[in-house]
Amino acid sequence: MFLKRLVLVNFRNLEDLSWNPHRGINIITGDNAQGKTNLLEAINFCTSGASFRTSREREMVRQGADFLKINSLMEKNGSQYEISVEMAKDSKLEFKLNGLKQVKNKLFQPGMSVSFTPSDLDLVRGNPAGRRRWMDAELCCFEARYIYNMQNYNRVLTQKNNLLREKIKTSGYNEILETFNTQLADYGSRIIHARLSQLGRLSSMLKNVYRDITSGKEDIYFKYFSSIPLVDKLNLNAIKKSFLDTMMEKNSEEKFKRQSLVGPHRDDLNFFVNNMDARHFCSRGQQRSIVLALKISVINVYRLEYGEYPVLLMDDVLLELDESRQAGMTGLFELPLQVFITSTALPENFPADYRAVKITNGQLT
């Protein structure tokens, strides 16, 4: 996947910008609040249909403007196509593919871009909910029917929690609760199975990438912590049975606490470096290296899944790594991969060739 041309009108502080980026490594420099992150956000939006900063799309419209335009020329598998996004005042975003209106969900597929921003450090040190969102959004997004199972699981989970919170019990309370538990076990076991399958594929990649970044000085692994016993992690029926059995064991406790205590919404993923919990015993530099290795591993998963590398976006993170860890990334930069990196200054001794541009007050020079 390559971005060949980008035209922005009224995207945050980028009032009128046109750019033909390099197919390899692009480094975007500039002082703070000049538009570096805004430019990465625009690239992310035209490759995924989403912002890595906000879910409120109107925030992307430049202050004082009443419309927004994004136009991009993309190349994928040797073919070129144009994606355009427009939003007029008091209207919704309109997406077009080669000039024809298109539904957002049909226009963008997972794996077109991967972003690494400072907030991604929460994948290591943050709360479990953030790691669950990452597994759902980046790792399992192309798993067949995963989104369908997630949507249905969350729907039934809400219904069950509402039932548990009732002060005056509905007629047939226990029968309804049993029905909800059966549905949760069905959808939830499929979610857990998909997560474990994709994590299994990711595991060896992550170990190899992290060793490259640390020049072989550190080892990494992760553990998936589930609210149910996982005797046979790859057997869907075994996971479902364990799910049902655990809900039965927790039945009285759930009724007392008035909330569901079992399922993938309670699970977590933790990382360990040299057998130490990365949340508590790793430096910020090590945590940054973990997330970087994770993102690179996901890129390799996408390459296996779709046959092409995604665009990689790195916002003020790479150049905070020390030189030895940067040097360990030489293998990444040798891939046929388009990379966009923001920094306040050009790097010294960067381990690969690159093209640099500077942004000032929303304008490229």
Q: Is 99 annotated as a binding residue?
A: no
CA 37/CA 40 separation, integer angstroms? 5
Helix orientation angle between 146-164 and 173-213, rounded to the nearest 10 degrees: 130
CA angle 70, 73, 78 (to 5 degrees): 155
At residue 233, φ and ψ (nearest 5 deg) are -70, -20
Which ranges in the chain belong to alpha helices (H)? 36-48, 104-107, 122-125, 128-134, 146-164, 173-213, 236-249, 251-257, 278-281, 284-306, 323-327, 330-333
DSSP letters along 110-161, please?
Answer: TTSEEEE-GGGGHHHHS-HHHHHHHIIIIISTTSTTHHHHHHHHHHHHHHHH
CA 327/CA 352 separation, integer angstroms? 9
CA 286/CA 63 separation, integer angstroms? 38
Q: Is 36 annotated as a binding residue?
A: yes
Q: Is 219 annotated as a binding residue?
A: no
CA 359/CA 103 separation, integer angstroms? 33
Helix (H) or strand (E) holding 341: strand 339-343
CA 330/CA 335 separation, integer angstroms? 9
The residue to which tokens 């939830």 are assigned: 188
Q: Is 37 annotated as a binding residue?
A: yes
Q: Is 33 annotated as a binding residue?
A: yes
CA 325/CA 353 separation, integer angstroms? 17
Q: Is 31 annotated as a binding residue?
A: yes
Q: Is 342 annotated as a binding residue?
A: no
Q: Is 88 annotated as a binding residue?
A: no
Residues of each annotated binding site = 30-37
Binding-site positions for ATP: 30-37
